[in-house]
Structure 1
Amino acid sequence: MDNNNTLSWNVRGLNSKNKQQVILDVCGNNKVGIGALIETKLKGDRIRDLMNSSFVGWKFYSSSVVEGCILLIWKAHMMKIEVIQETSQLLHCRVSLVGVNLTYFLSVVYGSNQLETRKSLWSNLANVQRPVTPWLIMGDFNAVFYVDDRLGGRSISVKEMEDARHWLALGEATEMKTLGPKYTWTNKQDGGARIYSKMDRVFSNDSWFDSFPLPVSYVQWDVIYDHCYLLIKQGDFHSRGVKPFQFFNMWAVHENSRKLFFIIAYFHASLKKRQLSNHIISYVDANECFVEDYAKVVDYYFHHFKNHLGNASRASGQIDSKCISNGPVLSLDDQLHLIKPFTYHEVRSAMFSINSVKIPGLDGYGAGFFKVLWKDIGKEISVAILDFFISGKIPSALNDTILSLIPKVDQPSNATEYRSIACCNTFYKCFVTVWQWISLL
Structure 2
Amino acid sequence: MTCHFVGWNCYTGSANEGRILLIWQANIVSVEVLQGSDQFIHAYVKELGSSKELCLSFVYGRNTIEERLQLWQDLSGLSFPVNPWLMAGDFNVVFYFNDQLGGRTVAAMEMVDTQRWRSIGLVDELSTSGSHYTWTNKQAAEARIYSKLDRIFKNEAWLDFFPQSEAYVNWDMISDHCFFIIKTITALNLGIKPFRFFNMWADHEGFRETVLQNWTKPIKAHGLERIMKKLMRLKHVLRQFYRRAIGDVVHKYTVAKENYQSSQCQLQKDPHSTDLQREERSIFETFSSQSRYYDSYLRQKRKINWLRIGDDNTAYFHACLKQRRATNRITSFINDAGQINEKFEDVVAHFLNHFRSIMGSHSTASAPIQRECFIHGGILSLDQQLRLMKPFTKKDVEAAMFSINSIKSPAPDRYGSSFFKVMWKDLGEEISDAILGFFDHGMLPDELNSVTLSLIPKVETPTKAVEYRPIACCNTL
TM-score scaled by length of structure 1:
0.67
Question: Pairwise mapping of residues 29-428 of structure 1 onto structure 2 (< 5 A)?
Answer: 51-130=1-80, 133-239=83-189, 263=293, 267-268=297-298, 269-270=301-302, 271-310=321-360, 343=394, 345-354=395-404, 359-361=409-411, 367=417, 369=418, 374=421, 377-383=423-429, 385-386=431-432, 388=434, 401-426=451-476, 428=477
SS in 2 for 1:155: coil
Closer, same or farther: CA 52–294 of 1 in aligned 2, 3 Å: same
Letter in 2 for 1:108: F
Query: Is the contact made by 2:59 and 2:91 (CA closer than 8 Å) also made in structure 1?
Result: yes
SS in 2 for 1:154: coil
Q: In 1, Cα distance between the equivalents of 2:444 and 2:434?
A: 6
Give the Å deviation of 1:425: 3.4
SS in 1 for 2:79: coil
Letter in 1 for 2:99: D
Closer, same or farther: CA 366–81 of 1 in aligned 2, 3 Å: same
Q: In 1, Cα distance between the equivalents of 2:113 and 2:155?
A: 19
CA RMSD of aligned residues (A): 3.7
Q: In 1, Cα distance between the equivalents of 2:156 and 2:80?
A: 14
Query: Is the contact made by 1:347 and 1:382 (CA closer than 8 Å) also made in structure 2?
Result: no
Give the Å deviation of 1:309: 2.8
Aligned length: 340
Q: In 1, Cα distance between the equivalents of 2:188 and 2:408?
A: 31
Closer, same or farther: CA 349–195 of 1 in aligned 2, 3 Å: closer
Letter in 1 for 2:95: F
Q: In 2, Cα distance between the equivalents of 1:170 and 1:199?
A: 20
Q: In 1, Cα distance between the equivalents of 2:167 and 2:74?
A: 24
String of CA shifts for 1:189-213, please: whole Å, max 9, x gaps. Answer: 2222222211111111111112114
String of CA shifts for 1:234-290, please: whole Å, max 9, x gaps. Answer: 123323676997989xxxxxxx9x966985598245322123223112222222222
Give the Å deviation of 1:79: 0.9
SS in 2 for 1:416: helix
String of CA shifts for 1:348-373, please: whole Å, max 9, x gaps. Answer: 22313446786543577755x579xx
Q: In 2, Cα distance between the equivalents of 1:243 and 1:76?
A: 45
Give the Å deviation of 1:307: 3.7
Q: In 2, Cα distance between the equivalents of 1:96 and 1:157?
A: 41
String of CA shifts for 1:135-181, please: whole Å, max 9, x gaps. Answer: 10001111110102122221111111111111112221111112222
Closer, same or farther: CA 216–307 of 1 in aligned 2, 3 Å: same
Give the Å deviation of 1:80: 1.0
Corresponding residue for 1:330? none
Q: In 2, Cα distance between the equivalents of 1:291 and 1:422?
A: 26
Corresponding residue for 1:323? none
Query: Is the contact made by 1:244 and 1:362 (CA closer than 8 Å) also made in structure 2?
Result: no
Query: Is the contact made by 1:388 and 1:394 (CA closer than 8 Å) also made in structure 2?
Result: no
Q: In 2, Cα distance between the equivalents of 1:357 and 1:425?
A: 14
String of CA shifts for 1:35-79, please: whole Å, max 9, x gaps. Answer: xxxxxxxxxxxxxxxx13332221112221124111111111111
SS in 2 for 1:348: helix
Q: In 1, Cα distance between the equivalents of 2:129 and 2:167?
A: 6
Query: Is the contact made by 2:196 and 2:410 (CA closer than 8 Å) also made in structure 1?
Result: no
Query: Is the contact made by 2:2 and 2:9 (CA closer than 8 Å) also made in structure 1?
Result: no
Q: In 2, Cα distance between the equivalents of 1:62 and 1:277?
A: 34
Closer, same or farther: CA 389–143 of 1 in aligned 2, 3 Å: closer
Q: In 1, Cα distance between the equivalents of 2:167 and 2:38?
A: 25
Q: In 1, Cα distance between the equivalents of 2:294 and 2:331?
A: 33
SS in 2 for 1:419: strand
Corresponding residue for 1:320? none
TM-score scaled by length of structure 2:
0.62
Letter in 2 for 1:415: A
Letter in 1 for 2:32: E
Query: Is the contact made by 1:281 and 1:297 (CA closer than 8 Å) also made in structure 2?
Result: yes
Query: Is the contact made by 1:57 and 1:75 (CA closer than 8 Å) also made in structure 2?
Result: yes
Q: In 1, Cα distance between the equivalents of 2:446 and 2:290?
A: 29
SS in 1 for 2:297: coil
Give the Å deviation of 1:90: 1.5
SS in 1 for 2:153: strand
Letter in 1 for 2:147: S
Q: In 2, Cα distance between the equivalents of 1:113 and 1:123?
A: 16
SS in 2 for 1:267: helix
Q: In 1, Cα distance between the equivalents of 2:82 and 2:430?
A: 50
SS in 1 for 2:173: coil
Give the Å deviation of 1:223: 2.3
Closer, same or farther: CA 244–408 of 1 in aligned 2, 3 Å: farther
Give the Å deviation of 1:215: 1.3
SS in 2 for 1:382: helix
String of CA shifts for 1:357-400, please: whole Å, max 9, x gaps. Answer: 86543577755x579xx5x5431451562474699999998776
Q: In 2, Cα distance between the equivalents of 1:79 and 1:193?
A: 44
Segments of structure 2 that go 5 or more residues without pairing to the other structure are 200-284, 303-320, 363-389
Percent identity between the two aligned chains: 42
Closer, same or farther: CA 307–282 of 1 in aligned 2, 3 Å: same
Q: In 2, Cα distance between the equivalents of 1:188 and 1:84?
A: 36
Segments of structure 1 that go 5 or more residues without pairing to the other structure are 1-50, 249-255, 313-336, 429-441
Which has the larger helix fraction?
Answer: 2
Q: In 2, Cα distance between the equivalents of 1:209 and 1:245?
A: 26
